[in-house]
A and B are shown apart, each in its own frame.
Chain A
Amino acid sequence: MKILVCVSNVPDTTTKVTFTENNTQFNTAGVQFIINPYDELSLTRGLELTEKLGGTVTTITVGLADTEASIRKALAIGATDAVRINAVPTDAYFVAEQIAAYAKAENFDLIFTGRESIDYNGGQVCGLLAEMLGLPSVNVITSIEVDGSTATMERDIDGGKEKVSANLPLVVSAQKELTEPRIPNMRGIMAARTKPLKVVEPTASELTSAAVGFELPAPKGSVKLISVEEAGSLIGILHNEAKII
């Protein structure tokens, strides 16, 4: 079983978001970058599947050399090898095109993406990539089992869950619950240093979108406090003052 896991390199969840260049660039100064949490789930599930069924787990990242700390961490967690497409990931369309160009010749059985990257929250790469490769896709999966050439999954739907089956090859996107993320151990960290990390130059691609500016939400006014004794008055306040119930 040949598995590809898309790994995006994102700001740590505690990052205080600010912008520079007249609010057109995300300010990366002092920001800690991590593997996108959903991609950690994909990677772990990929490893669990290959441990059971045999095979390899390759990670792929579209990014410049500064993403290699996250890539090495993915190798330390257990990935067999890694690919880095040497380009700035301008938008999901570009990322998907680059990954599709690489994956086309590789015949992966299963490709994992995350539900969304926690910085741009697009949730687009799974569907874009699947369509570009002409493969089926199942998004926001909370479980996956593979039996021969068939995958059985559960996915979130509005107001519930759906059990879905599909033949491999297949592209899926990981939702929390898929598994518990693995933490690299010392042996993994040592092994990661010598695991193959292939750097590939990007293919030509046309621009489809561009972020022209960013804005921070307006700060909240200060909180109005209600005393414990008067707690019941909250309901009246929400009705009369906030006019929300």
Chain B
Amino acid sequence: MNILVFAEQIDGSFKKSAFEAVSYASQIAQAHNGTVTAVVPGNVADDKLAELAKFGANKIVSIKHDNLNGFNAETYAKVICNTATTEGSNIVVISNTYSGKSVAPRVAARLKAGIASGVISMPNTSAGFVVRRSVFSGKAFADINLTTAVKVLAITPNTFNTLENVQAANIVNVEAGLADADFTTKSVEINRVTGKIPLTEAEIVISGGRGLKGPENWHLVEDLANALGAATACSKPVSDMHWRPHSEHVGQTGITIKPNLYIAIGISGAIQHLAGVSSSKVIVAINKDAEAPFFKAADYGIVGDAFEIMPKIIEAAKAFKAN
């Protein structure tokens, strides 16, 4: 079985999600006596490329081209598919990041491959080729059987561990074979939030709801987040009222997150909110209403006034960090 992994580079380096994808592919390869090829569009130095071999890549196809340095769904799909065809790949693994999400279906359509996105399990090949994914905004799981010869798996970031499995991979440079006219979308400007932990990657998330009364009280969320090295989030009405930026809104219509720890302060726990956070490993709810639905989804709860509770927790967190 030949497995191809799209390893996404950002400014010439890989993020954890790329190593997760290679580790995932490597586990499939081990179970099925297969090989792992990683394809990397964009200019990446050899020492960086070699990092992929640490997680099980047997071969690294580097497609250097200035126009591929920034992400571009259409041309990325082309070079990934060209590599899949050359390598005779049976499975293409892609991390379901925003970029991954836009390229994976294009790859599937080009290869006439069945696709499962948001995959959270290894494939089960005892009857067909079945993977599990989360559906109904986290309210259920579905087992999907892919029935085509080639399969595309877009795996959920932060779900599979990176596993070291050092291989002596050779790095092969392949021509992109693209003309200027192939670059149909142009990146005009990129603004990445710096100095802050991106919400989707954060292991701890502190989140505030309408119970915090107004943006002037957000120091209660931020102080705890700073003490714990956490990212901050909020409920939908909070971002609708512009107390907080839209990028912090979690839930069914916001971002879906699955951190190790989610602390919800003054959030009622409406079903649409829970849809985006219920896969968190440990949930803490702080709410003055003992009947708030969040307490049914939480592991730990404190019933009371957040304005009284939060200073105590922040103080304890600062003391904990100082130790």
Contacts and interface: CB of A to CB of B under 8 A. Distances in A.
Asked if A and B bind, the verdict is yes
Interface of A: 11, 13-15, 17, 19, 37-38, 92-93, 96, 118-128, 130-132, 136-140, 142, 152, 155-167, 173, 176-177, 207-217, 220-221, 223-228, 231-239, 242, 244-245
Contacts, number: 273
Interface in B268-323: 271-272, 275, 278, 281-282, 284-285, 295-305, 308-309, 312-313, 315-317, 319-320
Contact of A159 (B110, B114, B117, B192): B192
Interface residues of B, number: 94
A214 B132 CA distance: 9
A118 B73 contact: no
Given A166-B184, A176-B253, A231 B73 contact: no
A168 to B, nearest CB: 11
B191 A244 contact: no
A236 B323 CA distance: 12
Contacts of A235: 313, 316-317, 319-320
Nearest to A166: B185
B261 A176 contact: no
A237 B106 CA distance: 46
A224 B301 contact: yes
A121 B135 contact: yes
6 contacts: A96-B105, A139-B101, A223-B299, A234-B300, A236-B316, A245-B228
Nearest to B117: A122
A29 B176 CA distance: 52
Contacts of A224: 299-301
A204 B48 CA distance: 46
Given A127-B109, A244-B261, A121 B184 contact: no
A232 B316 contact: yes
A239 B320 contact: yes
Contact of A232 (B133, B148, B313): B313
B98 A140 contact: yes
Contacts of A140: 98, 101-102
Contacts of B281: 244
Interface of B: 10, 15, 71, 73-74, 77, 97-99, 101-106, 108-110, 112-118, 128, 130, 133-148, 184-193, 198, 200-201, 204, 228, 246-247, 249, 252-254, 260-261, 271-272, 275, 278, 281-282, 284-285, 295-305, 308-309, 312-313, 315-317, 319-320
Contacts of A131: 74, 77, 105-106, 108-110
Given A131-B109, A224-B299, A235-B316, 13 more contacts: A11-B136, A118-B136, A137-B106, A159-B200, A177-B246, A211-B142, A227-B302, A228-B304, A231-B313, A233-B316, A235-B317, A245-B228, A245-B320
The 5 closest A-B pairs by CB, nearest first: A127-B105, A160-B192, A208-B114, A131-B109, A232-B316
Given A121-B118, A123-B101, A164-B186, A210 B147 contact: yes
B73 A212 contact: no
Given A166-B184, A234-B316, A137 B114 contact: no
Nearest to A211: B142
Contacts of B130: 212
A233 B281 CA distance: 19
Nearest to B74: A136
A226 B134 contact: no
Contacts of B300: 223-226, 234, 237-238, 242
A238 B282 CA distance: 9
A44 to B, nearest CB: 14
A209 B116 contact: yes
Nearest to A209: B114
B261 A13 contact: no
A228 to B, nearest CB: 4
B191 A167 contact: no
B282 A121 contact: no
Residue from A15, A93, A119, A159 whose CB has the most chain B CB atoms within 10 Å: A159
A119 B136 contact: yes
Contact of A162 (B117, B190, B249): B190
Contact of B102 (A137, A213, A228): A137
Contact of B147 (A161, A207, A234): A207
Contacts of A161: 190-191
A119 B140 CA distance: 10
Nearest to A130: B106
A63 B71 CA distance: 34
Contacts of A13: 137, 252-253, 271-272, 275
